[in-house]
Amino acid sequence: MAKKKVKKAKAKTKAAAKKVVKLKAKKPAAKKAVANGLPRPSGKPFGQAGKALDGVKILDFTHVQSGPTCTQLLAWLGADCIKVERPGVGDITRTQLRDVKGADSLYFTMLNHNKRSITIDSKHATGKQILDRLIKHCDVLVENFAPGALDRMGLTWEYIHKLNPRMIVASVKGFGPGPYEECKVYENVAQCTGGSASTTGFRDGPPLVTGAQIGDSGTGLHLALGIVSALYQRNRTGRGQRVLCAMQDGVLNLARVKLRDQQRLKHGPLTEFSQYGEGIPFGEATPRAGNDSGGGQPGWILKCKGWETDPNAYIYFITQAPVWEAICDLIGKPEWKTDPDYAKPPARLPRLKAIFATIEEWTMTKTKFEVMDLCNAKDIPVGPILSMKEIAEEPSLRKTGTVVEVDHPTRGAYLTVGNPIKLSDSITEVKRSPLLGEHTEEILTKVLGYSAKELAEIKTSGAITPPEKPAKAEAA
Active-site amino acid positions: 216
Only one of the segments 59-67, 158-166, 256-264, 268-276 lies at the binding site for ligand COA (rule: CB under 6 A); that segment is 59-67
Candidate residues 52, 53, 66, 428; the one interacting with ligand COA per rule CB under 6 A: 66
**Whose Cβ is closer to ligand COA: residue 170's or residue 304's?**
170
**Whose Cβ is closer to ligand COA: residue 67's or residue 277's?**
67
Which stretches of 228-332 are assigned E, i.e. beta strand? 242-246, 299-303, 314-318
How far apart, in whole angstroms, are the C-alpha atoms of residue 421 and residue 430? 13
How far apart, in whole angstroms, are the C-alpha atoms of residue 60 and residue 72? 10
Residues 70-109 that bind ligand COA (CB under 6 A): 84-86
Candidate residues 83, 173, 432, 439; the one interacting with ligand COA per rule CB under 6 A: 173
| DSSP conformation letters of 59-100 | EEE--TTHHHHHHHHHHHTT-EEEEEE-TTT-SGGGSTT--S
Candidate residues 58, 65, 168, 200; the one interacting with ligand COA per rule CB under 6 A: 65
Helix (H) or strand (E) holding 337: none
Candidate residues 53, 118, 172, 359; the one interacting with ligand COA per rule CB under 6 A: 172
| Contact flag: residue 64 with ligand COA (CB under 6 A) | yes
How far apart, in whole angstroms, are the C-alpha atoms of residue 358 and residue 266? 33
Report in angstroms how near the CB of residue 179 gets to ligand COA at its nearest: 16
Which stretches of 106-162 are assigned E, i.e. beta strand? 115-119, 140-143
How far apart, in whole angstroms, are the C-alpha atoms of residue 193 and residue 252? 8
Only one of the segments 178-186, 249-257, 261-269, 467-475 lies at the binding site for ligand COA (rule: CB under 6 A); that segment is 178-186
Q: What is the number of residues in the chain? A: 476
Report in angstroms how near the CB of residue 322 gets to ligand COA at its nearest: 42
Residues 212-231 that bind ligand COA (CB under 6 A): 216
Report in angstroms how near the CB of residue 41 gets to ligand COA at its nearest: 40
Q: For ligand COA, which residue has the nearest CB? A: 146
Report in angstroms how near the CB of residue 172 gets to ligand COA at its nearest: 4
Residues 369-428 that bind ligand COA (CB under 6 A): none
| Contact flag: residue 56 with ligand COA (CB under 6 A) | no
Candidate residues 180, 186, 369, 414; the one interacting with ligand COA per rule CB under 6 A: 186
Long-range contacts of 146-155, Cβ-Cβ distance < 8 Å, separation of 24 or more:
146/184, 147/173, 147/174, 147/181, 147/182, 147/183, 147/184, 148/182, 150/61, 153/122, 153/123, 153/128, 154/128, 155/122, 155/131
| DSSP conformation letters of 403-459 | EEEE--TTT--EEEE--S---TTS-----PPPPTTTTHHHIIIIIT---HHHHHHHH
How far apart, in whole angstroms, are the C-alpha atoms of residue 190 and residue 253? 12
Candidate residues 53, 169, 185, 404; the one interacting with ligand COA per rule CB under 6 A: 185
How many residues contact ligand COA, by CB under 6 A? 24
| Contact flag: residue 116 with ligand COA (CB under 6 A) | no
Report in angstroms how near the CB of residue 206 gets to ligand COA at its nearest: 23
**Whose Cβ is closer to ligand COA: residue 15's or residue 92's?**
92
Only one of the segments 39-47, 180-188, 302-310, 434-442 lies at the binding site for ligand COA (rule: CB under 6 A); that segment is 180-188
Residues 118-147 that bind ligand COA (CB under 6 A): 120-123, 144-146
Of 381, 201, 242, the residue nearest 299 (C-alpha): 381
- Residue 157 identity: W
Residue 19 backbone phi and psi in degrees, to 5: -60, -45
Binding site for ligand COA (CB under 6 A): 64-67, 84-86, 120-123, 144-146, 149, 152-153, 172-174, 184-186, 216
